[in-house]
Amino acid sequence: MMKKGYFITFEGGDGAGKSTQIKKLMEYLESKGFDVILTREPGGTDIGEKIRQIILDPENKEMDSVTEAMLYAASRAQHVSQVIKPAIEAGKIVICDRFIDSSIAYQGYGRNLGDSVSIINSYAVGEYMPHKTFLLKLKPQAGSLRMAGREKDRIELEAASFHQTVYDGYEALERKYPERIVGIDASGTIEEIADEIKKHIDVLLSE
Binding residues (CB under 6 A) for ligand TYD: these are 14, 41-42, 56, 72, 97-98, 102-103, 106-107, 153, 155-156
* Three-class DSSP category at 95: strand
Residue 111 CA to residue 163 CA, distance in Å, equals: 10
Residue 87 CA to residue 37 CA, distance in Å, equals: 8
Residue 142 CA to residue 123 CA, distance in Å, equals: 35
Q: In the bound complex, what is the minimum distance in angstroms from residue 38's beta carbon to ligand TYD?
A: 13
Which CB sits closer to ligand TYD, 34 or 139?
139
Which CB sits closer to ligand TYD, 26 or 205?
26
Q: In the bound complex, what is the minimum distance in angstroms from residue 156's beta carbon to ligand TYD?
A: 5
**Class of residue 179 by CB neighbours under 10 A (exposed 0-12, middle 13-18, buried 19+):** exposed
Which CB sits closer to ligand TYD, 3 or 56?
56
Q: In the bound complex, what is the minimum distance in angstroms from residue 14's beta carbon to ligand TYD?
A: 4
Which CB sits closer to ligand TYD, 58 or 91?
58
Which CB sits closer to ligand TYD, 62 or 207?
62
The alpha carbon dihedral of 160, 165, 170, 171 has a sign of positive
Rounded (10°) angle between helices 18-31 and 190-206: 50
In the 3-class helix/strand/coil scheme, how is 175-192 assigned residue by residue? HHCCCCEEEEECCCCHHH
Q: Nearest residue to ligand TYD, using CB?
A: 106
Q: In the bound complex, what is the minimum distance in angstroms from residue 93's beta carbon to ligand TYD?
A: 20
Q: In the bound complex, what is the minimum distance in angstroms from residue 162's beta carbon to ligand TYD?
A: 10
Q: In the bound complex, what is the minimum distance in angstroms from residue 72's beta carbon to ligand TYD?
A: 4
Which CB sits closer to ligand TYD, 97 or 174?
97
Rounded (10°) angle between helices 160-176 and 140-147: 120
